[in-house]
Structure formats: C-alpha cells, structure tokens
Chains A and B, each alone.
Chain A
Amino acid sequence: MSPYIIQRGGPRDPQAIPLATKLGTHITNERRRELAPDSLRASAELWASERPAARLRSISATYNCVGMVFASRRTWVDTDELEKILQEDGYHRVSGLDEIDTGDVLIYRGAKGEIGHIGVVLSSEPVVGTASWMVTVLSKWGAEGEYIHAPDHVPHFCGRPSEYWSERREMP
C-alpha cells in the first residue's frame, strides 16, 4: 500500500517548504520532481516553434510561475494562492502603463477572469513613435522554461495580460 497525503501542500506536508505571506499565513506549496531531460528538450523545442520571439532563460520543472516570483524558485505554488499573497504582502494595483517599473508583476487572466499566470517586469520603455510602452516580462511557463518575452507572447492557456501590481514604497 502507498499513502496519499490529505491536504497536500499544507504546513504538515513533508513535500512543502515553510512559506508564508508577510502576515504569516502559510502559502500552500509543493516541491515538484524534475522532468526527464528528453521531456524538457521536447518542451523547449515545442515553444521555440510556437513562440519564437520568447527567449529561454532557464528550464526546470521544480517550480512554476508563482514559485519563481514569490518563492525564489524553490517550490510550486498554485495560482489559487495569488490573491492572498498579493493582499497580505501589501501589493497595490498599478493604474497606468506609464507607472510600470522593473520588478512589478503582471497578472494574466483567462476568459472567465481566473488568474492563470504571473510574470515579473524586466523593463518598460516608452515607444515614442506609437505613443505606447514596450514592456518586457520574465515568466515561468508552468513546469517548463523561464522565458523573456513581450506581455502577450505566452502560450494561449496562460491567459491574457490583465493587470500590473507592485509592492513599491515611495521615499517617505
């Protein structure tokens, strides 16, 4: 017989690491085993053809997008935990594209409004000719690669770029 854990990812799950918000609330997480090398290679090849403008930075299955942003790539955190993290870690929504800065996070949402993905802003540069902003994002695509990409250059199921959030504090 083999056991399965009730309420996986909780503080008593040996596969979870101690991870909490600023208010001390446990963040459900679970460490995922690495994918075999041929699986990782197949993944990189697939997305190189599907999203050629995205640059692969790193590839490992042991963490996901939320784990990259909020757990230093140590573990996997389901996107269901994001709203709690944003609230309890003091994040505020960025109101306009002109206010985006390096280190802010970009939330992606699906058709029904559910959070599907998150990335970190690497840069935000004004494009004078089109009066717009060129934003570059670093995000982890599930169990697959970390990619540097334009906000909308992600796999379809990650959702559409929805809103930017920041924890920045102004000089008092």
Chain B
Amino acid sequence: MTIAELFNAIESHKMAAEVNIASSRRLANEIVRSHPIVRELADKMKKPRVTERIFLRLLGLTSQATDPRYENPSDIALLAYLLLLSWRDRQLALIAGSAVCQMPNLWWASKMATDILERRSEQNEMAGETSTPVAANTHAGDRLFLADPRSFLTAAAPPYLFRIRHPNLTQTFDPRTRTVPGGIRRVASHSTSRFEPEAAAA
C-alpha cells in the first residue's frame, strides 16, 4: 500500500472499530502495535521522510474541527501515529504528544500522549507519583499545563521540510539533519501555513 492508502486505512472507521473493542490501555496499544497496517507503515519508516509525513499528518489531525458532542473520530489514528513516532523518533514523539494533549475529547490517544510526556518525568520521592522537571511538587489530581507546540510549528514545502522554532531559542532545529544551523530564521506561523524555501533567511 502507498503511504496515503495506509493513512486512510489507519484513519478509517474499520480500524477504529477493531481497536475500540479494547477495555484496557494495554490491550488497545497491543491491538494497534500488532495491526498489519501499522506494521506496514512502521516498516516504511526506515525512510526518514515517512516519519516526517506521519508527524505532519498527526499535526493535521490535531487542527481538524470535530463535533464537540462526541469523541474525536481521529482518536485511534492519533494513537497509532504516536506509537509509530515513539518507536522511531523520540523528539518528534514528544512534540506530537504535546500537540495531542491540547486536543479535547480524545481517549486512547491522550493516554498515549501522557505516557510519552511522562517518560521524561522524575519520581517524586514522597509518594512515588510522577512529576515533570518543571513541576517537581505535583500530586495526584493536579493539572499539568503544557505549551501548545502548534503555536510555533510551521509547515513548509516540500512536505518533509519544516522548522521547529521555540520562542526561547535563537536557533532553529532541522529534524532531518539533526543540526542547528544557527541564526534566526524568519518562518511563517502555523496559522498562516505559508511556505518557506529552505534557503530563506531572516
């Protein structure tokens, strides 16, 4: 199957129905992990561009409007994409997890996103509860606020090319080459989705 066909299959009602028979997080992850379509897409991720397409596909789903009365219909697809990213690219998985955590009305995907984010956590000595490095004194029932990475992510053409720019950073990170070229690059905001050639400079 082509990448587009695999995306469509993962985002289909049939896939969701096959996964949603799970009554536990463990089982939902197991079903997705072993699903032939997910395995096929995972195999294609040997090419880095496929990983980036999955990441961008996930970001696209996070910005789709859905009926607020119901669970987000992309929940299973987001779960699958998060799993795939966590297998291949930890940094992208973290960013994807942060984006997914911003979305309402998710179920399995939000739990997976939380798992991804909390793997960066430190153990609280007092009660064995987890906390993140920025909130060392959290307790069960507390709320952890995350920045929305979609506010500083850009989409650029070609589809595999994008820049991650954090407001507190003066350099941009190229996920393809894992380098920090240096200098401030003028990039389009996520909301305008304006393209920027790789060679463009501030």
Contacts and interface: CB of A to CB of B under 8 A. Distances in A.
Nearest to A10: B140
A33 B71 contact: yes
Given A6-B129, A33-B105, A79 B24 contact: yes
A80 B21 CA distance: 16
Contacts of A1: 102, 145-148
Interface in A37-56: 38-39, 42-43, 46-47
A7 B107 CA distance: 14
13 contacts: A2-B146, A4-B146, A5-B141, A5-B142, A6-B131, A8-B114, A36-B70, A61-B71, A64-B23, A78-B25, A80-B24, A140-B23, A157-B22
Interface string B131-157: 100000011111111111000000000
B21 A142 contact: yes
Interface string A87-127: 00000000000000000000000100010111000000000
Given A80-B24, A116-B27, A157-B31, A39 B73 contact: yes
B171 interface: no
Nearest to B114: A4
A12 interface: yes
B110 interface: yes
B17 interface: yes
A65 B130 CA distance: 29
Given A6-B140, A39-B71, A42-B17, 11 more contacts: A1-B147, A5-B144, A6-B130, A35-B73, A42-B13, A42-B16, A64-B23, A65-B23, A79-B27, A141-B21, A143-B21
Given A43-B17, A116-B24, A141-B21, A7 B31 contact: no
B67 A46 contact: no
A146 interface: no
Interface string A137-149: 0001111100000
Interface string B75-113: 000000000000000000000000001111101001101
Nearest to A154: B21
B145 A142 contact: no
Interface of B: 13-14, 16-18, 20-27, 30-31, 67, 69-71, 73, 101-105, 107, 110-111, 113-114, 117, 129-131, 138-148
A142 B143 contact: no
Contacts, number: 125
B25 A32 contact: no
Contact of A144 (B21, B71, B117, B138): B21
Contact of A34 (B27, B31, B69, B148): B69
Contacts of A19: none
A155 interface: yes
B133 to A, nearest CB: 14
Given A2-B101, A35-B70, A36-B70, A47 B17 contact: yes
Contacts of B103: 2
A66 interface: yes
A150 interface: no
B143 A5 contact: yes
A95 B14 CA distance: 39
Contact of B141 (A13, A42, A47): A13
A2 B98 CA distance: 10
A1 B125 CA distance: 28
A71 interface: no
